[in-house]
Structure 1
Amino acid sequence: MIHFELIAPVGEILRRNAGLHPEKLAFEDRTRSVSYRELDIETQNLASQLTALGLRKGQAVAIFLPNSVNWVVACLATVRAGGVAVPVSIESTEAELDYRVADADCAILIAPQEKRAMAEALLLRSGRSTMIVTPGETHFQTPGQEVSPFEDDQDIDRPAYIVYTSGTTGQPKGVLLSTRSMLWVTASCWAPIAGLSENDVVLNTLPLYHSYALNIAVLSIIATGASEYIMEKFSTSHATELLRTGRFTFMPGVPTVFHYFLSSCQSSGEKLLSSVRLCVSAGAILPGPLNSEFETFFGVPLLDGYGITETSTMVTMNWPGQWRIAGSCGLPLPGLTVRLVDPKTGLDVPAGAEGELICKGPNLMQGYHNKPDETQKAVVDGWYHTGDLARCDPNGFLTITGRLKELIIRGGQNIAPAEVEETILLVETIMDCAVIGMPHAMLGEVPVACVVLKASASFDQVALIDHCRARLSAYKVPDRIFVVDEIPRTGSGKILRVKLRERLPAA
């Protein structure tokens, strides 16, 4: 059931693939591609260069690149050198990049040429000694086909990745993950359940800085020996163009991707997935009607699963075949223990009742970087408390019903309300603010801000939106802003978001 042979050091996996199928395509983007032999050489050479720059075992390297072959090379090279890869969205603002580089204490920042000036400016202001590495026009400058002297890191249990996830405090938390925990998901989910193998050609629509993509679209590709095309950004037109080639057999995405793609193909009448054997969805809840409509139109299974960064992505997954429950995120992964408990008492809830989902297994994070108190709150006696509510049917199928946590999930992207609130409160005319998620037909949820103005202050929505755009990634910018008389709060000052939502007009 669990493919333990897939769990190995990154260098060992790449050498194995280079030996078994050296000329086979590993990764491709719009500008270049690499075979498994070339990937092995490039990652070794970059790892050697990082070491020569002074990177020591356990030091962090920020990967601030667009989705690309170079992104994959940079990440794998960092791990081979014994470093800790820190994925950062290429769309991050200076403040967001600065926070991650500082929090992870990155020794090296790998950035594209067009972002180098921005990176240099923020490092100069902060006074940090972080070094910047920039790829050449198409790839990292490596000395031909010769491999530089290099010692591969073999420790698959050390922290090898810090993946930042938004929390309810407003400050993103760096989740410490090991190569073993990440590849355990490959071995227990993507290989045995989704059937990912060396025979697959994957079309990746996901941003690589997410744990979901890092797992399924980078590490699982090399572990299984599959091939992949990396989209820099998802667009329906580009995906349509690629799928017309008939090359692809496997497509992961978030629900929004499948919604846009289905709508486009229904309009054109073109059924483009003739070569695709399977699609998988995670990152946000996949509505049952969308799942059913997608499978009926394309005749291709769309498997939904539930995952979180703190468990190296997946917790549950639907298996192929007819035995699936509409709207369910499936069964717990083999080897992973899941319970539903009463959030107040910690006791298991009766069958069919709603409870907080907690889990324990080999894929659990090693903690939050530099946040021992947060780690202690989240992991109790070895059980990770997800903050998500779920129900379980008599056959063990889980359905996510809500969230104890206050994250807003916009098209698979996590947004911490407090982070947006802190940004809005920088405007001197705003006295109070609360951000909530409101339903959206395509994106699932969008952030909406409610603001209380100071006495006699005027309201300029355009200026406030521009203020947010300058300081936040685009997906975090409020979709709408409402002026309200007050923000409902508890006696201790916590925002009563449910009450606030009830006061707003329907979407």
Structure 2
Amino acid sequence: MQSEFQSTMDGLDPSYWEKPLAQAIVEALCHDPKRTVLIDCAQDPRVWTASQVLALSYALAKRWNVWDELRVGVVLPPGLLGMVANLGLILAGKVPVNLNFTASASAIQFAMESAGIERIISTDVMVAQFQDFPWPEVIIDLKDLLEALPRVELGAIMGLMRFTPTEVLKRLWDLPLAKGDDEAILLFTSGSDGQPKGVSLTHRNLLANCDQIHASTVLPDGIRVLSALPLFHSFGFTVTMLYPVLKHATAVSVTSPLELKKIETVIKEHRVEVLVGTPTLFRPYLKRVSPEALRTVRYVVAGAEKTQKGLHEQWEAAFGSFYLEGYGLTETTPVVSVNLPDLPNQVRTRSGSVGKLFPGMRARAVHPQTLEPLALGAVGLVELQGPNVFGGYFQDPERTQRAFHDGWFVTGDLGYLDTDGFLYIEGRLSRFSKIAGEMVPHGVLESALMDLDVWSGAETSAYAITAIEDAARGESIVLLSVEAVELERVRKHLIQQGIPALWHPRHVLQVAVIPTLASGKLDLDGCRRAAQELLLNQLS
């Protein structure tokens, strides 16, 4: 019985993964100093070359390497400020901790205390905008600091880049030597199913995942990719910020993935070719973005959640670009697999899958209870190995122990692999309810309810399935809806869709908004809490 799939090492350079990240950054930016790394469209669009980005980052690093603390908080959106803050800290031998400024104050405080954050790099604008954020006493206003940098100093750095061999420059700058399994960045998960978890990603994790992305050809040399996802999101950090620095790509940045009118203009004016995001973020494009504006877009890569029924076909019909599903997790730096446009003699996408496993990875499915390996094609708990898989949760050995099984990372997702290495994800294990001994998939219920006309045409999440404890049945299914809808109408629709009666919601609760995270993913814990609170209010 074949129980696992191991991808090839084609296109990978394992020696590259062992470099110190600081050295890899300097090498990449010095290789072609004139190439465009970033087009920052936060205000008036400005092009930033490799030499300019490195000059600013190194100038900051010289000022920051004297700090005693190892980890430094960053509260900035995508763009020049977010990029040079992170690069500057890495070049200074520090560990950037990009904090989720949209999370609750308690979650942010938990992250800051866990990481020992004593100072934060941000701007006065961010401080004024997020007044409930638990700001520390020491806040570095990066905008003011950059404006104060002497032009003579920046010019001297760019002159050294132009006339000094890179190997000599690296020794001259005395770059930090941390590498391999050393901590490079610290992210805190969005906490969609509970309290945020600290994920330490190493130098090897980040370099390997960028190498895997490059080898997969999903972001080929010279590509222009929209950078809109937040830097506290692993996709925003690795794929749309770090990858363009390390590889020959250009990030075109806006401050938020929700600013669709701004994004429409930016895509059209700067000929963006690839969009990266979640299905929830892409759905509003269908009604609010002109197909003409997206004429240069070759494809979108959607991940972080299962694509809703019909969205794939609707996107391709409306915009004429490929809608490609991928898969990743914060713990995998993040990308694990992605579908690609087919070539004349090569199938690179498979319907229903989240793509072919990245080079250098192994995957298998195991029984959710016994953890025994299952044959390829059998649905089970997906486990992964690879150089992009993290080593454990930050200062949490118990949670780390639960996350690994015989050297395999337990993803928490149910799915299976086919014999060609394509991965299929059925959903989070936490998005299944055990009712009267039967596993009930929330995602299947949500797909079946999509055709109910009460919320047809909604641009954002209009409903969600969650569950609450039930002493008799184990759990009870609850439908949260922003529109008033009768339970009997829901049940009749589900019967027409062939959904078993055991799976039907026992409650329909109306809410003002469906709880979601900044990434666009459903806030699973928030949905559960909302259901519990509303039902308690009904009983009181």
TM-score (norm 1): 0.75
**Could you say which residue in structure 2 is the equivalent of 1:484?**
535
User: Which of 136, 158, 177 does residue 154 from structure 1 map onto?
Assistant: 177
For residue 235 of structure 2, what is the aligned residue in structure 1? 212
Partner of 1:237: 261
Q: For the residues of structure 2 that align with 1:446 and 1:154, how far apart are their CA atoms?
A: 48
Aligned to 1:170: 194
Shift of 1:486: 10
The superposition leaves residues 206-259 of structure 1 with CA deviations (integer Å, 9 ceiling, x where unpaired) of 122100111111111111132211110122211211222252222222212322
Compute the displacement of 1:26 (Å).
Answer: 1.7
Per-residue CA deviation, residues 394-431 of structure 1 (Å, 9 max, x unaligned), is 433221112223599xxxxxxxxxxxxxxxxxxxxxxx
CA shift at 1:115, angstroms? 4.4
CA contact (8 A) 2:74 2:98 kept: yes
Residue of structure 1 equivalent to 2:340: 319
In 1, distance between residues paired with 2:536 and 2:397?
38
Per the TM alignment, residue 176 of structure 1 is displaced from its structure 2 partner at its CA by 0.7
- Which letter does structure 1 place at the counterpart of 2:402? K
Contact 1:48 1:150 in 2 (8 A): no
Q: Determine the C-alpha separation between the residues in 1 that align with 2:102 and 2:134.
A: 15
Aligned 1:140-151 pairs, distance under 5 A: 141-146=148-153, 150-151=173-174
Q: How does 1:426-441 map to 2 (within 5 A)?
A: 439=446
* Aligned partner (choices 15, 31, 42) of residue 56 of structure 2: 42
2:81/2:143 contact within 8 Å kept: no
C-alpha distance after superposition, 1:325-382 (max 9, x if no partner): 2221012111110000001111122343210000111111121111011001101222
- The C-alpha deviation readout for 1:151-172, integer Å capped at 9, x for no partner, is 3223232111111114577321
Paired with 2:415 and 2:132, the residues of 1 have a C-alpha distance of: 46
Counterpart of 1:210 in structure 2: which amino acid?
Answer: H
1:276 corresponds in structure 2 to 297
On the 8 A contact 1:181/1:363 being kept in 2, the answer is yes
SS in 2 for 1:272: helix
Distance 1:162 1:119, change over 3 A: farther
Alignment-derived partner of residue 280 in structure 2: 256
**Which 4+ residue blocks in structure 1 deviate beyond 6 angstroms?**
117-121, 447-452, 472-475
Q: Name the % identity.
A: 25
Give the gaps of 5 or more residues in structure 2.
1-9, 158-171, 434-441, 451-457, 471-481, 483-510
Distance 1:404 1:145, change over 3 A: farther
Structure-1 separation of matches of 2:297 and 2:360 = 29
Distance in structure 2 (CA, Å) of the matches to 1:406 and 1:176: 25
Assess, with a 3 A threshold, how the Cα gap between structure 1 residues 447 and 143 changes in structure 2: closer, same or farther: farther
Q: Does 1:76 align with 2:101?
A: no
Given the alignment of the two structures, is residue 135 of structure 1 paired with residue 142 of structure 2, yes or no? yes
The residue type paired with residue 349 of structure 1 is L
Higher RCO by CA contacts (8 Å cutoff, separation 6 or greater): 2
> Which one of the candidate residues 344, 359, 378 is aligned to 2:403?
378
- Give SS of 1:136's match: helix
- Note the alpha carbon deviations across 1:49-107, whole angstroms, 9 max, x for none: 1123x245xx1111112233101111111111111111112334433332211111124
CA distance, structure 1, for counterparts of residue 325 and residue 245 of structure 2: 23
Aligned position for 1:357: 382
In structure 2, what is the equivalent of residue 329 of structure 1?
354
* Cα distance change of structure 1 residues 337 and 486 upon mapping to structure 2, 3 Å threshold: farther
Q: Residues 364 and 200 of structure 1: is their aligned pair in 2 closer, same or farther, counting only changes over 3 Å?
A: same
Matches within 5 A, 1:288-303: 289-303=310-324
Segment of structure 1 superposing worse, 149-158 or 332-341: 149-158
Aligned pair count?
435
| Conserved 8 A contact 2:364-2:417 | no
Counterpart of 1:272 in structure 2: which amino acid?
A: A
Task: Answer yes or no: is the 8 Å Cα contact 2:205–2:387 preserved in 1.
Answer: yes
Q: Is the 8 A contact 2:215 2:359 kept in 1?
A: no
